[in-house]
């Protein structure tokens, strides 16, 4: 198995950063973007001013507006946001031949179905060879060549290992795993908890409250993970604990910074109207709250974020409600 030609679907920050890293590592990369401005920017000026401003891209990286151009790729990275994955992967389906692995790089749960992205892709591209790439990684850091470590999950161990060995390089260290659900779930859930951590910061509630929130948020991730068949050690790893620490700990995160703005009294509409970038936790919160209710898993922080985002409660009331829950044994 050799993965020399890589197709990247999605011209946002993460798709562009991954495309840049793989190009610098000597792969032949073609990136599909929906917007012609992004395609033109990458091909003519070697930048993506819309989604990854301030970073010079390698001139060897080529972008296209035509998904069919990815037909000769040895592997495809799917980096469209979670809520758009179903549409994008249905369009991609005729282009993907049955041997070509599709690596899911988005982090979220679909609102209508409650499905993780890999589940959506296996429905829209039947028989697809699936993998998931997830872990702590801000696109701008990776695009600048800063060191990062991620997990690549695939049920087929030989394929997962080959992908990790060939897509990783000295800047991007890839560990492999066969726990696809666990790796995906960590990345999706941490976005919601990063909003909560941002709210705590925005309200100026202090580092102790922040630590409590992140730790109890992690307990929610482990609980839902267990119910959905994720391995506990996966939740402890890069794609779970690692990504929670990164995203909940830095305002560089879109989810964390959105939470901060909410904590400082801005409305959700006001925050969203100022950004072009996707804030996955906003959409995943509702899907996870529903999933947790169906499975009777206690996720009070996730529920609180969901209620704040829907305008059913205020930040102050949500915090008060969390603090007045009955005392219990730590789990």
Ligand X SMILES: NC(=O)C1=CN([C@@H]2O[C@H](COP(=O)(O)OP(=O)(O)OC[C@H]3O[C@@H](n4cnc5c(N)ncnc54)[C@H](OP(=O)(O)O)[C@@H]3O)[C@@H](O)[C@H]2O)C=CC1
Annotated binding site for NAD(+): 10-15, 139, 254
Distance CA 35, CA 10 (A): 10
Going from the C-alpha of 83 to that of each of 9, 113, 229, 298, the distances in angstroms are 14, 10, 23, 25
Beta bridge partners of 109: 116
Interacting span for ligand X (CB under 6 A) from 32-40, 163-171, 295-303, 307-315: 32-40
- What tokens does 96 get? 């993907």
Residue 206 phi, psi (nearest 5) = 95, 165
**Contact call for residue 79 and ligand X (CB under 6 A):** yes
CB of residue 267 vs ligand X: minimum separation in angstroms?
20
**Contact call for residue 283 and ligand 13P (CB under 6 A):** no
| Binding residues among 89-108 for ligand 13P as defined by CB under 6 A | 107
Catalytic residue among 62, 190, 226, 274: 190
Interacting span for ligand 13P (CB under 6 A) from 113-121, 132-140, 205-213, 320-328: 132-140
Q: Which is nearer to ligand 13P, 115 or 284 (CB)?
A: 284
A 10 A CB-CB count for 289 gives 20
Q: Which is nearer to ligand X, 104 or 162 (CB)?
A: 104
| List 8, 63, 95, 106, residue binding ligand X (CB under 6 A) | 106
**Contact call for residue 108 and ligand X (CB under 6 A):** yes
Print the SS3 string covering the chain: CCCCEEEEECCCHHHHHHHHHHHHCCCEEEEECCCHHHHHHHHHHCCECCCECCCCCCCCCEEECCHHHHCCCCEEEECCCHHHHHHHHHHHHHHCCCCCEEEECCCCECCCCCCEHHHHHHHHCCCCEEEEEECCCCHHHHHCCCCEEEEEECCCHHHHHHHHHHHCCCCEEEEEECCHHHHHHHHHHHHHHHHHHHHHHHCCCCHHHHHHHHHHHHHHHHHHHHHCCCCHHHHCCHHHHHHHHHHHHCCCCHHHHHHHHHHCCCCHHHHHHCCCCCCHHHHHHHHHHHHHHHHCCCCHHHHHHHHHHCCCCCHHHHHHHHHCCCCCCCC
Q: Catalytic residue at 190? A: yes
**Contact call for residue 216 and ligand X (CB under 6 A):** no
**Contact call for residue 138 and ligand X (CB under 6 A):** yes
| List 16, 48, 122, 253, residue binding ligand 13P (CB under 6 A) | 253
**Contact call for residue 283 and ligand X (CB under 6 A):** no
Q: Which residues are annotated as a binding site for NADPH?
A: 14, 34, 107, 139, 254, 278, 280
| List 57, 92, 139, 288, residue binding ligand X (CB under 6 A) | 139
Residue 34 binds which entry of ligand 13P, ligand X, none, CB below 5-8 Å type-dependent: ligand X
Q: Going residue by residue from 251 to 280, which x/- string records binding to ligand X, judged by CB under 6 A?
A: --------------------------xx-x
**Contact call for residue 233 and ligand X (CB under 6 A):** no
CB of residue 128 vs ligand 13P: minimum separation in angstroms?
23
| List 115, 137, 239, 284, residue binding ligand 13P (CB under 6 A) | 137
CB of residue 291 vs ligand 13P: minimum separation in angstroms?
20
**Contact call for residue 287 and ligand X (CB under 6 A):** no
The residues that are catalytic are 190
Binding footprint of ligand 13P on the chain (CB under 6 A): 107, 136-138, 191, 194, 243, 246-247, 253-255, 280
Binding footprint of ligand X on the chain (CB under 6 A): 10-15, 33-35, 38, 51, 79-82, 84, 88, 105-108, 137-139, 277-278, 280
């Amino acid at each position: 198995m050799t993965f020399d030609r890589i197709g990247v679907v999605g011209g946002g920050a993460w798709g562009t950063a991954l495309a840049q890293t793989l190009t610098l590592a000597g792969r032949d990369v073609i990136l599909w973007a929906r917007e012609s401005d992004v395609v033109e920017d990458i091909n003519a000026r070697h930048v993506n001013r819309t989604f990854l401003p301030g970073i010079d891209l390698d001139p060897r990286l080529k972008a296209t507006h035509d998904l069919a151009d990815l037909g000769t790729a040895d592997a495809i990275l799917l980096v469209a946001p979670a809520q758009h994955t179903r549409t994008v992967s249905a369009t991609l389906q005729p282009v993907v031949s049955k041997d070509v692995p599709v690596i899911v790089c988005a982090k979220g749960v679909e609102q209508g179905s409650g499905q993780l992205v890999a589940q959506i892709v296996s429905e829209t591209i039947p028989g697809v060879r699936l993998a998931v790439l997830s872990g702590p990684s801000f696109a701008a850091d990776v695009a600048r060549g800063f060191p990062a470590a991620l997990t690549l999950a695939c049920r087929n161990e030989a394929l997962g290992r080959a992908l990790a060995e060939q897509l990783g390089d000295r800047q991007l260290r890839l560990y492999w795993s066969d726990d696809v659900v666990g790796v995906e779930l960590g990345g999706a859930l941490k976005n919601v908890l990063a909003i909560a951590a941002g709210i705590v910061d925005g309200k100026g509630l202090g580092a102790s409250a922040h630590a409590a929130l992140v730790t109890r948020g992690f307990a929610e991730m482990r609980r839902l993970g267990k119910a959905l068949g994720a391995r506990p050690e996966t939740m402890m790893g890069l794609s779970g604990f690692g990504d929670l620490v990164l995203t909940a700990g830095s305002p560089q995160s879109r989810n964390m910074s959105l939470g901060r703005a909410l904590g400082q009294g801005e409305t959700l509409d006001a925050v969203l109207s100022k950004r072009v970038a996707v804030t996955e936790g906003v959409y995943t919160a509702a899907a996870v709250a529903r999933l947790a209710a169906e499975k009777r898993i206690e996720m009070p922080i996730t529920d609180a974020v969901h209620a704040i985002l829907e305008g059913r409660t205020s930040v102050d009331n949500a915090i008060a409600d969390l603090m007045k829950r009955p005392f219990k044994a730590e789990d």
